[in-house]
């Protein structure tokens, strides 16, 4: 299909947008990245995602697909001849989807909680939560990888994408809080996995540089603190 037939409406710092781009890269699908402007949100965004008005949106032909994990599954199904993103066994699929939901509903909010914390006590508690979540993910990794490099086995798949997209933000959080999350002593499997994932051909060009992301983080954190302070 021609490049213009597949568009990703997104923004380079967004881990959710990364998911869509990695999936397209795995399938070797050429696409056009449309950087969303925000403030105000573009007409295209409001039209293609009227319900949530959020990125990423995958626009295939003229049809929009919203919600990053739904986009990843869509890409896997449409470009079925490329390498599989979801496992083929229904129980393995359910396990992958379960952990992706855990990452989205529990783990990443706890990471965001560090930036939003107003005092030291709250920040320490949030850091503890993130570390606990990582132990949980280490266990999941040991179980699902079955000794191989990735959650999905030999090649990156659904859960690698769902979790790995947050590595940039995890590294930024480490830097800005002087804390080491990716600790070999505590989560050896994940530390190795993080390196391999970041270096994967489908990932390396869309993984944002930690320093650039740190600049964005400073702006976001200032906004969060202002919002918290004004309550």
228 Cβ contact partners less than 8 Å away, ≥ 6 residues apart: 116, 118
Among 2, 40, 43, 51, binds another protein (CB under 8 A): 51
The first and second tokens of residue 204, run together, are 């390396």
Torsion sign, CA atoms 187, 190, 191, 192: positive
How far is residue 199's CA from residue 178's CA, in Å, rounded to a whole number? 24
Tell the residue number behind the tokens 């990452």, with chain if given: 103
Interface with another protein includes 63 (CB under 8 A)?
A: yes
Interface with another protein includes 141 (CB under 8 A)?
A: no
Among 39, 40, 81, 91, binds another protein (CB under 8 A): 91
Shortest Å distance, C-beta 211 to another protein: 34
Interface with another protein includes 1 (CB under 8 A)?
A: no
Interface with another protein includes 102 (CB under 8 A)?
A: yes
Interface with another protein includes 46 (CB under 8 A)?
A: no
Nearest residue (CB) to another protein, 42 versus 95: 95
Among 12, 33, 41, 97, binds another protein (CB under 8 A): 97
How far is residue 183's CA from residue 191's CA, in Å, rounded to a whole number? 7
Interface with another protein includes 77 (CB under 8 A)?
A: yes
Nearest residue (CB) to another protein, 168 versus 189: 189
Q: Determine contact, residues 179/36, Cβ cutoff 8 Å.
A: no
Interface with another protein includes 65 (CB under 8 A)?
A: yes
| Other residues' Cβ atoms within 10 Å of the Cβ of residue 149 | 18
Q: Determine contact, residues 108/170, Cβ cutoff 8 Å.
A: no
How far is residue 148's CA from residue 92's CA, in Å, rounded to a whole number? 15
C-alpha distances out from residue 131 to 41, 169, 172, 196, Å:
35, 14, 15, 21
Shortest Å distance, C-beta 170 to another protein: 20
Nearest residue (CB) to another protein, 90 versus 201: 90
The residue range among 97-105, 119-127, 141-149, 182-190 that interacts with another protein, by the rule CB under 8 A, is: 97-105
For binding to another protein (CB under 8 A), which residues are involved? 51, 60, 63, 65-67, 70-71, 73-74, 77-78, 90-91, 93-94, 97-98, 101-102, 136
């Amino acid at each position: 299909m021609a490049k213009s037939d597949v568009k990703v409406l997104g923004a380079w710092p967004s881990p959710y947008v990364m998911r869509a781009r990695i999936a397209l890269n795995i399938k070797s699908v050429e696409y056009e990245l449309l950087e969303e402007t925000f403030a105000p949100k573009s007409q295209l965004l409001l039209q293609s995602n009227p319900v949530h008005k959020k990125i990423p949106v995958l626009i295939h032909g003229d049809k929009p697909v919203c919600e990053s994990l739904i986009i990843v599954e869509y890409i896997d199904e449409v470009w079925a001849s490329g390498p599989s993103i979801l496992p083929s066994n229904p129980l393995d699929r359910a396990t992958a989807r379960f952990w992706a939901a855990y990452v989205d509903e529990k783990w990443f909010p706890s990471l965001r909680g560090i930036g939003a914390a107003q005092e030291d006590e709250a920040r320490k508690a949030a850091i503890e939560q993130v570390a606990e979540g990582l132990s949980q993910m280490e266990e999941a990794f040991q179980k699902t990888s079955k000794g191989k490099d990735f959650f999905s086995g030999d090649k990156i798949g659904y859960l690698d994408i769902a979790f790995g997209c947050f590595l940039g933000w995890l590294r930024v959080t480490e830097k800005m809080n002087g804390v080491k999350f990716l600790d070999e002593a505590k989560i050896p499997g994940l530390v190795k996995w993080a390196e391999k994932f970041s270096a994967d051909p489908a990932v390396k060009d869309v993984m944002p540089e930690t320093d650039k992301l740190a600049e964005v983080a400073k702006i976001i954190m200032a906004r969060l603190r202002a919002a918290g302070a004004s309550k």
